[in-house]
Structure 1
Amino acid sequence: MEEGRQYRMNPEVFRAASSGDSSFFENLEESMSSTLLQVTFENNTVLHVALQFKKFDAAKNIVNLSPRLVYEKNSKGNTPLHVAAMVGDTSLVTLLIKHANELDVETGGRQLLSMANLDGDTILHVAVRYGNFEVVRELINENDPAELAMQVNKAGESALFLVVDSQDYDIATHILRNAPNCSYAGRHGMNVLHALVIHTSSYSNTRDFLPKYLKCREQDGLKGGGRVLVAVIWVFRFVKKVVEKWPSAIEEGDDSGWTPLHIAAHLGNEKFVKLLLENGNSPAYVRNTEGLSALHVAAKEDQYSVIKELMEACPDMYELLDNKGQNALHAAAESGGWAAFLFFRKKPEFEGLINQQDEEGNTPTNLAAINGHIYTKFELGEGRRVALNATNREGFTTMDNILLRKKLGSWPTVSTFCPALLIVGARPSLRGVLLKMGIRKLDPRKKSEMAGDDKDNGNGKGMSQSDFEKGVSKTNMLVATLIATVTFTAAFTVPGGFNQNGKVGEGLAVLRNKLAFRVFLIANTLAFGLSTTSLLVQFMASILLTNEVSFHGQMGRRAPLFTSWSIGALLSSEFERKKALKAMFRKLVWAHLELSGILSV
């Protein structure tokens, strides 16, 4: 066998197998039996080729002539049975299994069914990957003799996980119902529940479901809309069956320790959260590798309904801390979420949460200030029970962190809410006062840390605040210079030109009495003045000798404002210039017509 496989397949043999020429194989002489051992460049045998092109009769003749070919693998490790599963022909699958049983009554069929390719995929993996339900029915009817549903590939994926991941719900239900033993494992440490939560979160609320339903209805008509409705009904029933069969799957985390409940909390899927906690609340206390519980995740992602659902099921889970010693309010303050504060602010446990310090001594209020979340800080500062003047391990209070940002110029609107915090009792620490007076210097590491917090300030490119402002400054100077140049030139090249007839008004603009011309002059003058002012402000911001970074930042931010106004004025002047020229052109046309009439007479 191995010796014969060294021969490359003859083109005539390939054409016979791919076209289904049964007579070619029927008339094959015994002396030419080595022909069946020829392979293609990818080590496909004639049986692989015949199956690939769904040539049942040719495949039957080949198997009768050389039964051992059913076990041969190509370069990817696929047996002929793998190929039959890919093309989805149940008759071919039945044929191969039948011949395998004839070769070895004891284990022939089971051995062939259990053979895996280089990726570790069995025939069942291949069948579900290609969505061939009929093949799956043939393999797993009333039982699973080869225990295919228990096998996982090299990526750690079971057939059930693959079919749920591809959202083939009818196949998934069939496997779960008919396979006595079934694996629910998935890639990267996930399981079937992880895949279900991820793929069906859009079905859990009307806001996301309706657009999805309408889109499918538009693309595939009633069939598409019906498929979405079936998915909604099926998914929750299927989840219940999975939970009943494998209760431990709820608490199993992936490679990062994220359980299905973590993902449901992250996506705001409160229905799934409720479903996963029906049989007990222990999954809610599971933390991932960062120490985050589902409550931390929900607070971080601003998922109010999930927070409410979790707290109703586990009223004491607010005590859970992550690896940094932070509670759910810390997570919300760090990300700028409102939901956790809105939920806890009127709860008796709020005072303990809001004043709790993490391993670095930061309360949620401090973290809100450090990360620049203005509205969250107002929400925190409204309560009388909030310790706004608590210091962290560096000795900074909430007000210190705000003032430090102001000093670094990384928070342009800080002056608008500092007074409000002063009113509710926020004060700088002794160290903060010394820093402001210049008696103490800020640690360079702290300075870079504070400045580094402002990366990706809405510019979408992850650049720092200072780099972004430099780019804006350069663009502003270029645009302002161009506008100043254009408007200055326009002042000397007025539309319609000047009067040069040697009469009264010589040297004045021809269109000086037109309203459009006057508006043009006013708009052009404004554009020139504003663009020049923008350049002047930009220049002053760059040369003034002051250590107040925020002053330079504010000056630099004012310059583009003047430029934008000058652009508006320039557009207005251009519009009026065209109106004036149009009026002059109309006058010239009428003069030409009158002259033509006189000459014709």
Structure 2
Amino acid sequence: MSTGQLPVKLPKEEEGNGDPTIPATILVASDREGCQRLKDVLNKEDATTMVMVMPTLLTGNNKQCEEDAKPHLPNLPRMDPRLLMAVRNGDSMALHHLLDNHSEAHPHYIVHMDDGSVPPPRTDMAEEGLDHRACGSITRIMAVPPPPATTEVSKEDADDRCSSYTDGTTLEGLPAYVADVDDGTDPENINKKPIPGFAPSQGSPLDGVTCCERDSALHVVAACGDSEEYLACARIVYSKARHLLNATNKRDETPLHCAAKAGNVGMVSCLVELAKSEDRGAERVRDLLRKINKFNETVLHGAIRNDNKMLVEKLMREDPELVCLPNPRDGTAPLYLAISLRRWHIVFGSELLLASFKQSSYAGPFRRNVFHLAVSRGAALKELLEFCRRESLPFVHLLRQPDQCGCTPLYTAASVDRLDKSFSSMVIRFMIRHLGPRRCILRHMTTEGPTKLLMEAEESALYQPGPHASYPIHMAATRGLKGVLTVLDKFPGCATLSDGSGKTFLHKAVEWRKYDIVAFVCQNNPRFASVLNVQDVDGNTALHLAVYIEDQPIFNCLFENRQVRLDLTNRHGLTVLALAALNLEERTFNFRSNPQAIIFKTLLIVDAPDSDTRFNDDDDTNSDIIDNQEINERMKAEEEKLSRDITTGTQVMGIVSVLVATVTFAAAFALPGGYRADDHTNAGTPTLAGSYAFDALIISIALAFICGLLATSSLLYYGVPMVDFSIRFKYFNASMHLLQSSVKSLSVAFALGLYLAMFPVAHQATITVCVIVSIGLLYGNVEIRQTIMVMKTVSARIGFQGALQLNARTLRLHYAIIKAIFNKFWSFVLIFGLPAIRKINPPK
């Protein structure tokens, strides 16, 4: 039967470290019988004996052993809870008592389980750190010094030598001994064989560390406080274990790191004084202060993170060159860290800023410097620039220094410089959006910000390219109008700069849908006339991009400027009209109010030039542009997606249409004013019948009911899957218009009903309700608004008189306006028109 083996590394003493060793005994048992015998032996030992079980991976009949035990080898001993409590609470008396009364550790026992199918351990196996097994026996390993001239000793000699070291005397460089104890043999009547390289642990409480952070006792006391009690504890620990002053924890931090991070100024002073008291004290202090932890930070970084100005100044007095650490390629400079954490009283209130610039230590991650960071820290950039000028510090080269991505500080400033979120800024945004960027509005815009500050400090940085060969003006155009105004106000020549793809800042503004920038450029300003028709490497102008992204407000803004040419073609030979037509061809179904449809209609009205290649099927270029198979697949996928979306919408529309029909049906038989009595000539008829308002109420109720039923019927037709989708789509459009008319008619009926019931007794309330309902009826008239915008855009392009002329071009516009008005208000014509006709021509 084969058994798996796990390598077991026996601890070896490092050369020259001076770690002491003590006598130890290790008992190794194999099978169940041996384990039971070992238990009997352990029961006779002292209760403080430590037992460690080290099982092996077994197969066959002993699989239960594999589940019951897992291998585990400790690296460092755990800290004594009494010691941890003493150092954390700063209890120097308890700490002193614990260390003075500490006794040496008892022998360590290791129980090794096996099936007994392998031979006993050998000396060479112990030396090589291989798996040690004993076949049905107990093996004892003892760390005792051997006689000088022999490799085997008798039981009496071994016992004498073991007893000579129980008084606390330490042993250095002593080999261990292994002995095999067979069944029926007295474990004491054996010979011991040496195991070279085995040295048990010292067993001092100060050798223990915490379980998570692996902190020593000095780490703990350094981080917990700096009162006299804690300082006394630190001195006690140092007196017992001086090497702990330079020991590191899991984060490669010394006790001085922990004290600095906690802001314990007194503890830092104490640890520094302890280091100075050693041989070569100045060198020890310097090495301790410059120790770099796992995160490439020194104790100065910890003091900055704690926001302790006093501690920062003390550390810099001890070692002024701390500001240079770590290396700029490895970590973050202390000054960069202080600015990133907004520790302004440390940056501008201590010697950190001046010392860092004198030592050229201002680097951060990704090869950035402090100016890259200061642009996003409010007023810090202005103070930093003023300080550098006042102290005559060299800083201009930092403004031209690119980071890892190629961004200079000015390029970074352009990416963050925008209007704040104050109320005045919100008003300016609203006015620019709806009134355009007029001069009176732009004068109230503040240009103060990081872009202006860095631009005044180093003007040439505006012409230094950044990522993708773009310039700060391109980055500013992607963020808002403020940065563009700041740059172009003093350097209008930046407007013609092109990036690696041939795009100007106007192309970028269109791509990022920055309407305010486009409106500012299109104000017929002669300075920007050369930018309006610039083509990128693909031949696209700003108007091409506006058509491509289907942004109607930006398109209208560019289209209204008569200097924008409509006949330019891009690399594929497409004009703006051809590109707009291509957008429509790639869509199976389009609502007439969609931006792409409005853009295409606007270009048709002004008779924009078309592209010849769009209709040439034999042209190779056209075949590359329009892949019919790809378009068909895209149209099919779009049809399926549109069908799913509309199906979801019809569920809500069906509920609304049925609800409107139900309400109007009930309203028809609950008219205001009541009914005539039975003794009247027209018994059972409404008492208000014959008045203009009552007739309008009846017509509105009837229209709401009929339109609701027709909308429901159209939705039923749409739900039939065997009908072609194009036909179903027409039914859906019809149901949507009918439902809108039904809801509007119901709103009118509500207002007329209140008028008839309340006007005789509450005039003002009735009029208020009617006004509110009238305003609400204007909601949802997007088509009319878009048609008016088209009229305005066309008038700006061809003139108002030209737009009013009746010709083949303008008839499309006039027809669109009349159609939009009729679709939205035809029900109002019937509701208020028919009763008026009846009043004018009463029936005879």
Please, which of 332, 347, 355 is the counterpart of residue 157 of structure 1? 332
Where do residues 63-462 of structure 1 align in structure 2 (5 Å cutoff)? 63-103=238-278, 104-141=280-317, 144-151=320-327, 156-173=331-348, 174=350, 175-179=352-356, 180-200=358-378, 234=383, 237=386, 244-268=393-417, 270=447, 271-303=449-481, 305-337=482-514, 338-339=516-517, 342-343=520-521, 346=524, 348=526, 350-407=528-585, 408=587, 409=590, 412-413=594-595, 421=603, 426-432=608-614, 442-443=626-627
Residue type of the alignment partner of 2:494: M
Q: What is the rounded CA distance, in whole Å, between the counterparts of 1:487 and 1:3 in structure 2?
A: 96
Note the alpha carbon deviations across 1:512-544, whole angstroms, 9 max, x for none.
769999999887655544433444565678899
Note the alpha carbon deviations across 1:258-315, whole angstroms, 9 max, x for none.
3322232233354322221234322112333233211112223332x42233235544
Residue type of the alignment partner of 1:327: T
Note the alpha carbon deviations across 1:377-418, whole angstroms, 9 max, x for none.
333233443221111122211122233334533761456565
Q: 1:149 to 1:522 in 2, by over 3 A?
A: farther
**Structure 1 stretch displaced more, 487-496 or 33-42:** 487-496
Answer yes or no: is the 8 Å Cα contact 1:334–1:367 preserved in 2.
yes
Answer yes or no: is the 8 Å Cα contact 1:483–1:566 preserved in 2.
no
Post-superposition shift, 1:178?
3.4
Which residue number corresponds to residue 221 of structure 1? none
Note the alpha carbon deviations across 1:155-200, whole angstroms, 9 max, x for none.
x432222221121111122311234425222234433222211232
Please, which of 74, 77, 81 is the counterpart of residue 11 of structure 1? 81
Answer yes or no: is the 8 Å Cα contact 2:697–2:749 preserved in 1.
no
Q: 1:492 to 1:366 in 2, by over 3 A?
A: closer
Which residue number corresponds to residue 58 of structure 1? 233
Gaps of 5+ in 1: 204-230, 455-463, 580-601
Answer yes or no: is the 8 Å Cα contact 1:161–1:191 preserved in 2.
yes
Answer yes or no: is the 8 Å Cα contact 1:77–1:116 preserved in 2.
yes
- Residue 100 of structure 2 corresponds to residue 29 of structure 1: yes
Q: What is the rounded CA distance, in whole Å, between the counterparts of 1:240 and 1:444 in structure 2?
A: 65
Q: What is the rounded CA distance, in whole Å, between the counterparts of 2:731 and 2:669 in structure 1?
A: 38
- Residue 709 of structure 2 corresponds to residue 532 of structure 1: yes
Q: TM-score, normalised by structure 1?
A: 0.72
What secondary structure is seen at the aligned counterpart in 2 of 1:353? coil
Q: What is the rounded CA distance, in whole Å, between the counterparts of 2:634 and 2:510 in structure 1?
A: 16
Residue type of the alignment partner of 1:247: V
Q: What is the rounded CA distance, in whole Å, between the counterparts of 2:523 and 2:633 in structure 1?
A: 30
Q: What is the rounded CA distance, in whole Å, between the counterparts of 2:714 and 2:20 in structure 1?
A: 86
User: Between Structure 1 and Structure 2, whose CA radius of gyration is higher?
Assistant: 2
Residue type of the alignment partner of 1:160: L
Answer yes or no: is the 8 Å Cα contact 1:541–1:555 preserved in 2.
no
Post-superposition shift, 1:333?
2.3
Answer yes or no: is the 8 Å Cα contact 1:86–1:127 preserved in 2.
yes
Q: What is the rounded CA distance, in whole Å, between the counterparts of 1:573 and 1:70 in structure 2?
A: 91
Q: What is the rounded CA distance, in whole Å, between the counterparts of 1:482 and 1:248 in structure 2?
A: 73
**Structure 1 stretch displaced more, 142-151 or 254-263:** 142-151
What secondary structure is seen at the aligned counterpart in 2 of 1:298? helix
Answer yes or no: is the 8 Å Cα contact 1:290–1:322 preserved in 2.
yes
Note the alpha carbon deviations across 1:417-449, whole angstroms, 9 max, x for none.
6565456663222344679xxx99943588599
Where do residues 501-516 of structure 1 align in structure 2 (5 Å cutoff)? none
Residue type of the alignment partner of 2:209: V
Answer yes or no: is the 8 Å Cα contact 1:190–1:254 preserved in 2.
yes
Answer yes or no: is the 8 Å Cα contact 1:265–1:294 preserved in 2.
yes
Post-superposition shift, 1:466?
4.7
Post-superposition shift, 1:362?
0.8
What secondary structure is seen at the aligned counterpart in 2 of 1:316? helix
Q: 1:131 to 1:277 in 2, by over 3 A?
A: same
Answer yes or no: is the 8 Å Cα contact 1:7–1:38 preserved in 2.
yes
Answer yes or no: is the 8 Å Cα contact 2:521–2:528 preserved in 1.
no
Q: 1:445 to 1:364 in 2, by over 3 A?
A: farther
Q: 1:492 to 1:311 in 2, by over 3 A?
A: closer
Q: 1:533 to 1:384 in 2, by over 3 A?
A: same
Q: 1:128 to 1:523 in 2, by over 3 A?
A: farther
What secondary structure is seen at the aligned counterpart in 2 of 1:257? coil
How many matched pairs? 528
Gaps of 5+ in 2: 1-16, 22-74, 104-202, 419-446, 759-844
Note the alpha carbon deviations across 1:522-577, whole angstroms, 9 max, x for none.
8765554443344456567889979799989966864664475478579889999x
Answer yes or no: is the 8 Å Cα contact 1:250–1:259 preserved in 2.
yes
Which residue number corresponds to residue 226 of structure 1? none
**Structure 1 stretch displaced more, 15-24 or 283-292:** 283-292
Q: What is the rounded CA distance, in whole Å, between the counterparts of 1:109 and 1:84 in structure 2?
A: 15
Post-superposition shift, 1:78?
2.2
Q: What is the rounded CA distance, in whole Å, between the counterparts of 1:194 and 1:88 in structure 2?
A: 29
Q: 1:35 to 1:537 in 2, by over 3 A?
A: same
Residue type of the alignment partner of 1:45: S
Post-superposition shift, 1:84?
0.8
Post-superposition shift, 1:20?
0.9
What secondary structure is seen at the aligned counterpart in 1 of 2:501? coil
What secondary structure is seen at the aligned counterpart in 1 of 2:271? helix
What secondary structure is seen at the aligned counterpart in 2 of 1:352? coil
Answer yes or no: is the 8 Å Cα contact 2:323–2:335 preserved in 1.
no
Q: 1:537 to 1:239 in 2, by over 3 A?
A: farther
Answer yes or no: is the 8 Å Cα contact 2:667–2:701 preserved in 1.
yes
Answer yes or no: is the 8 Å Cα contact 1:406–1:412 preserved in 2.
no
Q: 1:546 to 1:311 in 2, by over 3 A?
A: same
Q: What is the rounded CA distance, in whole Å, between the counterparts of 2:694 and 2:281 in structure 1?
A: 102
Q: What is the rounded CA distance, in whole Å, between the counterparts of 1:135 and 1:431 in structure 2?
A: 75
Q: What is the rounded CA distance, in whole Å, between the counterparts of 2:727 and 2:530 in structure 1?
A: 38
Please, which of 471, 474, 489 is the counterpart of residue 650 of structure 2? 474
Which residue number corresponds to residue 591 of structure 1? none
What secondary structure is seen at the aligned counterpart in 2 of 1:391? coil
Answer yes or no: is the 8 Å Cα contact 1:388–1:397 preserved in 2.
yes
Post-superposition shift, 1:88?
0.7
Q: What is the rounded CA distance, in whole Å, between the counterparts of 2:287 and 2:742 in structure 1?
A: 78
Answer yes or no: is the 8 Å Cα contact 1:538–1:555 preserved in 2.
no
Q: What is the rounded CA distance, in whole Å, between the counterparts of 1:309 and 1:76 in structure 2?
A: 47
Q: What is the rounded CA distance, in whole Å, between the counterparts of 2:706 and 2:566 in structure 1?
A: 47
Q: 1:178 to 1:517 in 2, by over 3 A?
A: same
Identity of aligned residues (%): 23
What secondary structure is seen at the aligned counterpart in 2 of 1:199? coil
